[in-house]
Amino acid sequence: MNTLVVLAHLLHIPPGSARPGEPIELVAVIDAPAAEPALVVHWRAIGGAIWRDAPFERSSAGGWYATIPAASPPGVEYYIGEPDHAHFASAASPQQITVEPELIDRLEDQERARTRDLPDQVALDLEGHDFGNRYGHSDYYARAELSWTHRFLRTLDAASFGAGGITGRTPSMDGADATIDPRDARYGFAAARLRLAPAIFVDARATVGVSQEGFMKGFGGSITLGRPWRSNLSFGGEALDALGGSAFVRLQWDTAPPLLMGASIVRTDLPGALVSADGLLLRYDVSYTVAARFTIRGALSYGARDGSAHFGGGLGTAIAF
Partner 1 sequence: MRTFFLLAVLLLARAAHADPTVLAVKGDDVFVDLGAADGATAGAQLRLLHVVIAKDPTSGQTLRDRFEVGTLTVARAGDHVLLAHPEDALRGKVVVGDEIALASAPVAYVDPWQQRVAAAAGTPAPATDDDAARTVDEADAARAVWQQTLGLAPAERIAKWEAYLSERPQSPYAAAVKAELVSLRAQAQQLDRAATARAAAASGSLDDDRTHQLALALADLIPSAARTGPLVDAAPTTALPGRPITLAFAIVSPARVARAWLYVRPRGKAGFEKLELAHDGDAYLRATIPASLVVAGGLEWFVEAASAKGEPEAVIGDQRSPRVIDTLEDISEAPIASGRSRVAARLEYVDFDGKLGGGHDQYYQAEFDFTYRFLQPVHAIRLGFGTLSGQGGPKDIIDADPTGQCLDASGTYSCRRVDFSYVYTEFELRPSKWVGLMLRPQAGLLTTDTRPMSSGRCRGGADTSDCDFGKGLGLRARVRFGEEDSTNLVLGVGFTSGVGTLIEALYQWAPRPVVPVTLAVQVTDQPVPEDFGVRIIGDVGWRGMSWVYPSVRVSYQARDIDHAGISGGLGLNFDW
Q: Within 33-52, which residues bind partner 1 (CB under 8 A)?
A: 33-35, 37
Among 303, 272, 315, smallest CA distance to 129 is for 303
CB of 55 to partner 1, least distance (A): 14
Q: Within 203-242, which residues bind partner 1 (CB under 8 A)?
A: 226-227, 230-231, 233
Neighbours of 299 (CB within 10 A): 21
Q: Which is nearer to partner 1, 184 or 278 (CB)?
A: 278
Q: Using CB under 8 A, which of 118, 126, 251, 286 touches partner 1?
A: 251
Among 76, 165, 75, 82, smallest CA distance to 126 is for 165
Q: Which is nearer to partner 1, 152 or 302 (CB)?
A: 302
For residue 209, the number of C-alpha atoms closer than 13 Å in the C-beta half-sphere is 24
Q: Within 129-188, which residues bind partner 1 (CB under 8 A)?
A: 132, 134-136, 176
Q: Cα 91 to chain center, whole Å?
A: 40
Q: Phi, psi at residue 34, to the nearest 5°?
A: -65, -20
Q: Which is nearer to partner 1, 165 or 307 (CB)?
A: 307
**Running DSSP on this structure, what letter comes out for residue 62?**
S
Q: Within 8-27, which residues bind partner 1 (CB under 8 A)?
A: 8-17, 27
In sequence order, what DSSP letters do the residues of 180-191 get, joined into one string?
EEEEEEEEEEEE
- Asked if 103 is part of the footprint of partner 1 (rule: CB under 8 A), the reply reads yes
| 45 within 8 A of 97, measured Cβ to Cβ | no
Query: Among the candidate windows 116-124, 161-169, 290-298, 304-312, which touches partner 1 by CB under 8 A?
Result: 304-312
Fill in the per-residue mask, 52 to 71: x = in contact with partner 1 (CB under 8 A), - = not in contact: ------x--xxx--------
- Asked if 273 is part of the footprint of partner 1 (rule: CB under 8 A), the reply reads no
For residue 10, the number of C-alpha atoms closer than 13 Å in the C-beta half-sphere is 31
Q: Which is nearer to partner 1, 207 or 276 (CB)?
A: 276
